[in-house]
Amino acid sequence: MKAIARKVADQLERIAARPEDAIFLRVDADRAIAAAEASDARIAAGRPLGPLDGVTVAVKGNLAVAGAPWTAGIAGWRGRIAERDATAVARLRATGAIILGEVNLHEGALGATTDNPTFGRCANPLGAGLTPGGSSGGSGAAVAAGMADVALGTDTMGSVRIPAAYCGVAGIKPTAGLVGRGGLAYLAPTLDSVGPLAPSVARLWPVLAAIAGPDVRDPDSLAAPAAWTEGQQPCDLSGLTFGVPRQIDDVDCEPAVLTAFALALEAARAAGAEIVTVDVAGWEPGRARRGGLLVSEAEGAVAMAALMDVEDAISAYLQGLLAYGRDAGAPRLVDAYARMRAAGAACHRALAAVDALILPTAPQRAFPHDRPAPANQADLTAIANFAGVPAVALPVPLAEGGLPGSVQLVGKPWSDGSLLAWAEHIEAELAT
């Protein structure tokens, strides 16, 4: 058995050995094995399709995979079969990447624990009983468990970056419009982005490069300026200035998160960056996040309207969230959108004075499923969605061991390539 086929066989065995972890919704073993054999043959012939040939991918269950149930983690969509791949999935297949199957997510992508009432409570490989975060919890867990090389997730207010933080992996929310969203079961089209998760920052880059580009199936996708790929050459952080938002002090962060953040700042300085404190004036993290949640509930009520009147199609909990958004009324929704715009504008003003913002990814590390989810999980991530700018999360190992922390870099529009390069330098410093 050649290398790619052996790897795929090992990963399929790992998945099959842990069904109780509820990480995968469905595994396409036969097709994955055939794709692995084809990849091995291309590589042996010296004709790989590119850097992703033979790389295995777990796909979040709200992204369409042709011929598979396209559930978005919802009971009422178990019988919905995707007719074609989502744009990001199709682009990965074209590079020789191997789609292993679809992974679990928070029901309807509206939540951050991935305790799914239909498909099971998704485990976090870092500790028994811990949540992997959400809504892309299965994506983070699959990568952390070594069940897939990389994963696709979606990020509405932090749904790629929070699982990356809780599972000790890396993830990026791209610039709005960089990655086409064709074949995504939307939660909130105003905020939703498709982005990858990987064991390290370096492995994010080829995936993002492969899935980026205009998409005729997504009217909001954009032709990125050529400069978005800049920054992928070896360099250090000399001459760069990273801003630490004063508003971090307004968020209740657990001590270990702040310890990890301090380590990340030391690593950035060691790599040559200047660290300054900035006032992101106009951003109130909790208030902005609450506005974004109401918008997500309201837009989700439109996206899932057909399910709301069908018995047992969605859980009572999700029904309540969507009904709340549907019935919010124009004045409250106008105010919610205004909060988001104010936070986004504040982010852009702050970025005009620095190269990137640096801040913790989430106010807490992974917590037990049995504990109520903190309301502030997305306080520090949502601002990038409101601004439409890229944000990359990377793990921060803690000296005392145990669960890792996580830090994120938030950059200017179309700085995705540079942001990944800078994050990779910080990751390397943290490893020394």
Residues identified as active-site: 60, 135, 159
| φ and ψ of 336, to 5 deg | -65, -45
What one-character DSSP code corresponds to residue 373? P
| φ and ψ of 171, to 5 deg | -160, 155
- Among 185, 210, 186, which Cα is nearest to 198's? 210
Residue 212, strand partner residues = 179
Q: List Cβ neighbours of 418 (8 Å cut-off, separation of 6 or more).
A: 230, 231, 411
Rounded to an integer, what distance in angstroms lies between the CA atom of residue 336 and that of residue 292? 7
Residue 38 tokens, joined: 């084809």
> Strand, helix or coil at 262?
helix
CB 159 within 8 A of CB 95: no
Query: Helix 204-211 crosses helix 87-94 at what angle (to 10 degrees)?
Result: 110
Q: What is the largest CA-CA distance in the chain?
A: 63
Which phi-psi region, left, alpha or beta, contains residue 22 (left: φ > 0; alpha: ψ -120 to 50)? left
* Stretch (H or E) spanning 151: strand 150-155
What one-character DSSP code corresponds to residue 406? E
Rounded to an integer, what distance in angstroms lies between the CA atom of residue 207 and that of residue 210? 5
Residue 232 tokens, joined: 């992928």
Task: Count Cβ atoms below 10 Å from residue 156 Cβ, excluding itself.
Answer: 30
